[in-house]
Amino acid sequence: MNTKSKSPNGLMSFAAAHSGAYAASVIFAILGVGCQLVPYFAVSKLVIGLITGVREPAFFIRWCVIAAAFFFGKQLFHSVSTTISHKTTFRVISEIRYKIADKLSKTPMGYVLDTPSGKLKNIIVEKVDGIEPTLAHMLPELTSNILGPLSIIIYLFTIDWRMALISLITLPIGYACLMGMMKDYDKKFKIYIDAQKHVNSVSVEYINGIEVIKAFNQSASSYKKFTDAVKKNANYALDWMHDLQIWFALGYGIWPAVLITVLPLGSLFIINGSLAIPDFITIIILSLGIIGPILAAINFIDDIAKIKSIFTDIQNVLDEPEMQRPEKGPKLTGTEICLKDVSFSYHKTTVLKGINLNIPAKSVTALVGPSGGGKSTIAKLIASLWDVSEGEITIGGVNVKDVPFNELMNNIAYVSQDNYLFDDTIRNNIRMGKPSATDAEVEEAAKASGCHDFIMQLQNGYETVAGGAGGHLSGGERQRITIARAMLKNSSIIILDEATAYTDPENEAVIQKAVAGLVKDKTLIVIAHRLSTITGSDKIVVIEKGKVKAEGRHEELLENCALYNSMWRSHMEIKDEKLAGEITC
């Protein structure tokens, strides 16, 4: 049964695990802000000294040295704070990415197939990277930028409470402008983020479909879905920025203008004798240090809104239902596979209905039938890429849901018609079947699968990079490399899902020979559209419309199953037509 896997503290639990490091970063940031304020005091002392007629050079030198020392102290503490916060944040980012990758390995394939690859890529790469400004900067800097001005304000109240209040007059006015900027901010920001997500997804779709777009004489400008998404995103961003501009200009113009109130009102207090000139000078200089840190703190508002969106997207992935498997469980000692009353539904559509099937250990069982009948679904259920909706699947008498994923994956090798090759060397792509394999073992597997010769003809041999998704190789070449990977894995159960789909008749014979060596003393399940490749199977199972239509050996099914007989005749007619065409050529 698929269940939600939700952390009680959400994503912040990742940061909470490093609370000590973040606390240290905040402390150093506060020390840095404290050092930043001291030069203001030093400047006020120097100005007061000049006005009051101080003539001793030592006085000025002392305060200049103090100002310089605390200025460098501010740089030092800031550097230490950001170093700690950045190192910690990159650890958190790594942990989140590992968690997402682990999550995707445990979710049913349906979620991955239904989610656009651009969206997942955006979450794992851009979205997770978007956490960095907030965690690395906001935690230490927001704290220190609030405490610094607060300290100044408290000190101003000790000098003159009237001037302290006067220095704060621009704050509520600026805050009102900020509220104008923040009107419907969450709603508008969500629309903006959704538009960006759509652009990412459509861009990936456009790139993946570029061959079709070119073949049908389309272009970026005429591919309406792409251009509409780009224009919508750009227009919305421009309109939103236009609406914010007046509030932004007013807020950032009024906020720093503290001297507009401090200078005239302070001068009046001096004239009536209620404020001393040295205190006035100190207040003027210190009031200039209030707004800067507050504005820096306000700049994090956008990051806070952004991280809410980021955390929501990441948490949605982490909260996806996953296939439940124990961390520890029984070892698989047998390879007999039994499907008992297995049903499977996908998007409320029933794909399999009450399948009962026994696959003997160390046998070759072929699944055949019309397209969409459920053959590949059965293979994916056995390989635990999906979970059954009803019934159970056992391997060696053990329910697969009671077996840890690692144990299942170690005992099952799954090769599909579109098996993926990574943008790495051919040697490393084969070695994925057994990470500890030596170069000699990799090459032995390649020879056994019949791909050594064509690999050696490539420019860099085994060090040739396969390209994204194996794009530098033909479909048949990719297929043979995936079979070499499976041979190297040496699992006790092999599932070949249309493993010869991309091969021509000449290479098909090579692959069939390779498969024969691959499955010796193993349990093999084959899904094939070329019936001539599975006539020697120990058992052939005919699947139609999610049900087992018939099972038996080739000769038995020709006599007893009209569907299989019809499929066989159609297959032979196609082979005859191809042969006739080749002779004519």
Same domain, 51 and 143: yes
Contacts of 297 (CB under 8 A, 6+ apart): 141, 142, 145, 146
Convert the pLDDT of each residue in 32-75 to its tens digit: 878 877 888 888 888 888 888 888 889 889 989 998 999 899 88
Same domain, 305 and 360: no
Q: What is the DSSP letter of 573?
A: H
Q: What is the CATH number of the domain that holds 357?
A: 3.40.50.300
Q: How far apart are the first and last CA of the chain?
A: 56
Give the chain's domain count. 2
Same domain, 389 and 307: no
Q: Is residue 68 part of a domain?
A: yes
Structure-token match 């399940």, residue found: 525
Q: Is residue 87 part of a domain?
A: yes
The domain containing residue 55 runs over which residues? Answer: 2-158+295-323
Q: What is the pLDDT of residue 371?
A: 83
Q: Which three-class secondary structure state does DSSP give residue 415?
A: strand
Q: Is residue 360 part of a domain?
A: yes
496 burial type by CB count under 10 A (0-12 exposed, 13-18 middle, 19+ buried): buried
CA triple 69-71-72, angle to 5 deg: 70
Q: What is the CATH number of the domain that holds 319?
A: 1.20.1560.10
Same domain, 318 and 387: no
Same domain, 319 and 342: no
Q: Is residue 147 part of a domain?
A: yes
Same domain, 415 and 542: yes
| Backbone torsions φ then ψ of 421, nearest 5 degrees | -110, 140
Give percent of the chain with pLDDT exceeding 70.
83
Same domain, 399 and 541: yes
Q: Is residue 571 part of a domain?
A: no
Same domain, 300 and 438: no
Q: Is residue 48 part of a domain?
A: yes
Q: Is residue 315 part of a domain?
A: yes
| Backbone torsions φ then ψ of 394, nearest 5 degrees | -120, 145
Written as six digits, the tokens of 30 are 């506060």
Same domain, 315 and 369: no
Same domain, 317 and 381: no
Same domain, 306 and 433: no
Ranges of H-type helices in 463-561: 475-489, 505-518, 554-560
Structure-token match 């194996």, residue found: 470
Q: Is residue 195 part of a domain?
A: no
The ranges of the chain with pLDDT < 70 are 1-12, 110, 113-114, 116-118, 181-182, 184-186, 204-205, 207-225, 252, 301-303, 305, 417-419, 468-471, 499-519, 574-585
Same domain, 507 and 366: yes
Q: What is the pLDDT of residue 69?
A: 93
How many Cβ atoms are within 10 Å of 442's Cβ, its own excluded?
A: 22
Name the pTM for this structure: 0.62
